[in-house]
A = this chain, B = another copy of it.
Amino acid sequence: MDVRTLCLGALMGGEATGYEIRKMFEDGTFSHFQIASLGSIYPALTKLTQDGLVTFVEHEQENRPDKKVYQLTSEGRRTFLRTLLQTRPAEDRYRSDILFMLTFAEEMPIELTEALIDEFAARHELMSHQIDPENDDKPGTMSTYGRDENGAPKPGCCFVAGLGQAMCEATLKFIRENKQGLLDELRDFKARKP
């Protein structure tokens, strides 16, 4: 899935600026399983405009740069839906510096191992909290749930969000149950080898 397709998908929920699209990938609906940076979103929107898949209206703002509000054209909508039907989804990829580093736990001070695990747990705690539907209506927080015109959360989005939460909780549970064991094992390991 290239950024152009991701942008089309982001605009399926209604009009948005480039900046708002980035927020969907940073904090919002898609943030837990897709990434796109401004440096790729803006060129993608330009290209999509050239191809007639999106249009934009320039809103002048006092004392601020103009806002370009993008919207799908009917061809853009059709193209996106066709892509959904035709694309064979790429392999999932998970990238974690912390897990990579933990692989070398034997080679580093135990305090660092513990700090890394705690950091990992803290990040998942936060993420689980962000996905939580209880938090979804609070002002200021970006919604994790895509909603239709009536404001009802969409079943597909709820399923994906629930899955994300289940993964977070499993991670936290595993850490609660295995962190101490690992630290003890490492202490043993280091006692035996100088």
Contact = CB atoms under 8 A, between A and B. Distances in A.
A34 to B, nearest CB: 5
Interface of A: 1, 6, 9, 12, 29-30, 32-35, 81, 84-85, 87, 89-109, 112-113, 116, 119, 123, 146, 148, 154-157, 159-160, 162-164, 166-167, 169-171, 173-175, 178, 182, 185-186, 189
A146 B106 CA distance: 11
A155 B185 contact: yes
B185 A174 contact: no
Nearest to A90: B97
Contacts of A29: 103
Given A9-B104, A34-B96, 16 more contacts: A32-B94, A34-B95, A35-B93, A84-B101, A89-B101, A89-B119, A92-B95, A92-B99, A93-B94, A102-B156, A102-B159, A103-B146, A106-B156, A166-B170, A166-B173, A169-B170
Contact of A95 (B93, B116, B119, B169): B93
A107 B174 CA distance: 36
Given A95-B34, A107-B84, A155 B171 contact: no
A95 B155 contact: no
Given A30-B103, A96-B34, A123-B91, A166 B171 contact: yes
Contacts of A116: 89
A106 B6 contact: no
Contacts of A100: 1, 6, 9, 30, 33-34
Contacts of A167: 167, 170-171, 174
A147 B96 CA distance: 20
B155 A178 contact: no
A84 B119 CA distance: 15
Given A123-B91, A170-B167, A84 B103 contact: no
